Amino acid sequence: MKTSFTLNGQAASLDLDPRTTLLDALRENLGLKGSKKGCDHGQCGACTVLVNGRRINACLSLAVTHEGDEITTIEGLAQGEALHPVQAAFLEHDAFQCGYCTPGQICSTVGMLQEAADGWASLATQDLAADTVLTDEEIRERMSGNLCRCSAYPQILAAIRSAGGVA
């Protein structure tokens, strides 16, 4: 089935078996191996990508449903040699060990910071009417969809704090 979307700013067209997930289309059909397959069941966040600016799990989304969407993967965050601020923060804070969860963590962070900027609440938000303040507790709750098997959580938290949370 023919499907076209914008991938990291460039047009992409594919002829896909409808069973292909967005994750498999990115990795196998388009050769972008940055997005990782951890669980393939929405349970780990390693496959997180941005669709129209919002973070989703690419493993639970059929590629054919993304006709016309704008998809951003870890490969599309940097501007040439200039890293995205979240990528730079992860490097600076040593926010990974094996690195397997990292592309998902970074894409998820970019999406999460936008959600916070849009004023979305989380379960850690005490006052649902108040402005969003990204405390450590808020960051942990909002990032709970990204597991890190190496447990680099303290460094991930520090990186996100410096990239957009409350210092």
Partner 1 sequence: MKPFTYERPGDVSTALALVAEIPGARFLAGGTNLVDLMKLQIEQPSHLVDISRLPLRAIEDTPEGGLRLGAMTTNSQVAADPRVRARYPALAQAILSGASGQLRNKATTAGNLLQRTRCAYFYDTTKPCNKREPGAGCAAIGGIYANTAIFGASEACIATHPSDMAVALTALDAKVETESGAGEARVLAMDGFHRLPGDTPHIETELRPAEMITAVVLPPPPPGGQIYRKARERASYAFAIGSVAVAGGKVALGAVAHKPWRAEAAELALAQGASPAEAMAAELKAARPDGHNDFKLKLMARLGAACLTTAGAGDDQ
Helices marked H in the chain: 22-24, 85-92, 102-117, 136-142, 153-163
Q: How far is CA 24 from CA 8, 10, 104, 113, 149, in A?
A: 16, 18, 15, 26, 22
Q: 132, 142 in Cβ contact below 8 A?
A: no
Determine if 143 is a binding residue for ligand FES (CB under 6 A).
Answer: no
Cβ neighbours of residue 162 under 8 Å, at least 6 residues apart?
89, 92, 93
Question: Phi, psi at residue 56, to the nearest 5°?
Answer: -140, 170
Determine if 141 is a binding residue for ligand FAD (CB under 6 A).
Answer: no
Of 4, 18, 28, 43, the one binding ligand FAD by CB under 6 A: 43
Determine if 91 is a binding residue for ligand FES (CB under 6 A).
Answer: no
- Tokens 């047009």 sit on residue: 11
Taking CB under 8 A as the criterion, which residues in 107-166 touch partner 1? 108, 111-112, 115, 118-123, 125, 128-129, 140-146
User: Considering CB distances under 5 to 8 angstroms, the limit depending on partner class, which of partner 1, ligand FES, ligand FAD, none binds residue 120?
Assistant: partner 1
Angle of the 153-163 helix axis to the 85-92 helix axis, nearest 10: 140
Give the residue with the Cβ less far from ligand FES, 49 or 77: 49
Determine if 57 is a binding residue for ligand FES (CB under 6 A).
Answer: yes
Residues near ligand FES, by CB under 6 A: 37-40, 42-47, 57, 59, 96-102, 148-150, 152
Site of interaction with partner 1 (CB under 8 A) = 1, 17-19, 21, 40-42, 45, 48, 54-57, 60-62, 64-65, 67, 108, 111-112, 115, 118-123, 125, 128-129, 140-146
